[in-house]
Structures are given as C-alpha cells and as structure tokens.
C-alpha cells in the first residue's frame, strides 16, 4: 500500500518543475542560440533522475535497467527507420530526433508511473 507523503507530491510535480528549470537554463545560458538546444533536451536528464526516484518510492525498486533497455531498442528501431526511408543515416538528424523521442518516452513513462501510484493510493 502506498501512503501519500510530501515527497510523493514533489515527485508528482517534478516534471513541471524540471521543464521550467530547463527553460530557465536554456534562456539564461543562451543555449538555443549557441547550440540549438531546447528545454526538453535539458529536461530529459532531470526526468530520468525523477523517474528513478519515483519508481523507488512507489515500487520499492528502480526501473532504470528496463528504461535503458527500452531506449536502446528505440535507437535501433529509429536507425532502421532512417535507413529505410532516407537510404542513409544522417547522424545530426538521427541524434536530435532520437533525443527528442527519448524525452517523449521518458515523459510518457513518468506520467504512467504517476497514474500507477495514484491507483495504488486509491486502492
């Protein structure tokens, strides 16, 4: 049974905090102009850390090994798609698309973990 704590509330709000913090970092250091980085590119690291902490708190174990296996499979699949549709792999386009897809995947898994923990709170 999961009990509601202040730290659990913090991890529920962490994706919003991470996105605003990443946006602040991007604008303060002018990373968009210098390196063409956006807030999701920076927020991915924070979300991976938050995913680890939330899975420890909700499930009692970390899911990082499964997460890293999933994003490796995502990279392999994306490489096949690039090779099939473009007949080559443009590494700059590949890595940018891959990292943004990792962000979306991480956000989706994070929200899914929040929903699972909320269901655990109700039941």
To the nearest whole number, what is the mean pLDDT of the chain? 94
**How far is Cα 64 from Cα 52, in angstroms, rounded to an integer?**
6
Rounded to whole angstroms, the Cα distance separating 59 from 73 reads: 24
Instruction: Give the angle 30-33-37 at the CA atoms, nearest 5°.
Output: 80
User: What does the pLDDT read at residue 113?
Assistant: 95
| Cβ(18)–Cβ(47) below 8 Å | yes
Q: What secondary structure letter does DSSP report for 88?
A: S
Residue that is written with structure tokens 């655990």 in the block: 120
At 25-58, the pLDDT tens digits run 999 999 999 999 999 999 999 999 999 999 999 9
- Residue 46 corresponds to which tokens in the numbers above? 């924070």
Domain extents in the chain = 6-122
pTM: predicted TM-score of the whole model, two decimal places? 0.92
Contact present, 23 and 17 (Cβ < 8 Å): no
Separation between Cα atoms, residue 109 and residue 39, nearest integer Å: 18
What is the share, in percent, of the chain residues with pLDDT greater than 70? Answer: 99
pLDDT (tens digit, 9 = 90+) per residue, 51-96?
Answer: 999 999 999 999 999 999 999 999 999 999 999 998 899 999 999 9
């Amino acid at each position: 049974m999961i009990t509601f704590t202040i730290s659990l509330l913090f991890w529920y709000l962490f994706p919003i905090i991470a996105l605003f913090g990443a946006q602040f970092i991007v604008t303060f250091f002018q990373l968009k102009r210098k390196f063409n980085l956006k807030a999701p590119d920076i927020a991915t690291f924070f979300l991976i850390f938050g995913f680890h902490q939330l899975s420890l708190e909700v499930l009692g174990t970390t899911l990082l090994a499964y997460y890293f296996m999933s994003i490796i499979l995502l990279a392999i699949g994306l490489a096949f798609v690039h090779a099939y549709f473009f007949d080559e792999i443009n590494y700059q386009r590949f890595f940018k698309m891959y990292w943004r897809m990792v962000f979306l995947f991480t956000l989706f898994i994070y929200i899914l973990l929040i929903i699972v923990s909320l269901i655990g709170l109700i039941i």
